[in-house]
Amino acid sequence: MAAKVISVFDKLTRPERIKVLVLDDSVIKRNRSKAVELLARVYDHVEHKFQKGFTLLTLGWSDGYSFIPVAFNMLSSAKQENRYQEVSGKVDHRTNGYKARKESLMSKTDAAVLLIRRALDFGIAADYVLMDTWFTTEPMLKAILEEGLHVIGMVKQLKQVYFYRGKAYTLPQLQKFVKNENADSIFGSLVVTTKNGIPVKLVFVRNRNKKSECLYLLSTDCSLTCTEIVRVYGNRWSIECFFKACKSLMKLGTEFQSRSYDAMVSHTTIVFTRYILLEWIRRNENDQKTYGELFYMFCDDIQDMDLTNALQSLMALFVDTVTKISTEITDLVKSKVTDWIMSQASFIQALFKDFCWES
């Protein structure tokens, strides 16, 4: 179902628009349960403590406008000592239900690669896989590259080192080689290699929540610019909004009571299907009603013309207002406005090439 919906959404956007697969997990709590099949002790990265329940590993697809859940794995625990219950003996080993139970005992990284491989087998196309710090490790990078996809993820400084100019450095040490390209957000980037020789591009970004800290983004596609890497990685937030909507509005994990693992998988499938249908309705109601891309370029031209007229009209009104203010304030405002125009893109500067303050 996800593959069919994505194929339709794919036709609504231009071919050069970047599509991504987003990988993340969320904990489904069952703290009051005791006899639920495959119930396990799992770690909650949000609350930083262990919970009784399952890890919902989810793979989604996004084109920057819509998010579609593609596949999931209701993970128990790969360690037997962390499992409160085992697979029920009543399940036929030839069924898909038993196969799902066996996959729930896989490690999180192996299960993630399996989800990506299955998505590609169903014909779901994407340019990059987006991941957070937990998944962005060298073995995961290698496994996803072997599937034919590039990775963009955030990395956390632990014990890993990267090789730059023949020497090994940690992430804070590499930051000293970066030239500050944008003091507000992006410090800069370096092309380095991992321990096993995978070339990656590291982007050093200011943490807007704590400006004294630096965040590290990694891309296996070294041809991307710093700004493009940051922009594409921003699409990862769509899966966080998806989890929030499913848990708060669609009662994921809370609207049923059952001890069966099959029931939990079925309930999660129903919730994900609801979300896909709602996304389908939203796109049908909000997208412009045209046959394919008929008149698409003409609509763009009209939009650009509206923006041009709006900017020029706004500036004319502003100039008329400024000329009526006292001389000292006027000189300061004129200086600031001139600086602002010079900092804009070339096509905006071209709009004001005949700009002058004399009325």
| pLDDT one-digit tens code per residue, 103-117 | 999 999 999 999 999
Please give the structure tokens belonging to residue 214. 């630096």
CA distances to 44, 103, 112 from 195, rounded to whole Å, are 29, 30, 22
Residue 180: per-residue pLDDT: 66
- Which stretches in the chain have pLDDT values below 50? 295-296, 299-305, 359
Between strands 162-164 and 150-155, the pairing is: unpaired
Residue 346: per-residue pLDDT: 74
Q: Give the span between the Cα atoms of 235 and 291, in whole angstroms.
A: 28
Q: Give the span between the Cα atoms of 59 and 116, in whole angstroms.
A: 7
Q: Give the span between the Cα atoms of 134 and 139, in whole angstroms.
A: 12
Residue 288: per-residue pLDDT: 61
The closest alpha carbon to 187, from 163, 168, 207, 170, belongs to: 207
- C-beta neighbour count of 29 within 10 angstroms: 16
**Is the pTM above the cut of 0.85?**
no
Beta carbons of 39 and 85 less than 8 angstroms apart: yes
Residue 22 main-chain phi, psi, to 5 deg: -115, 130
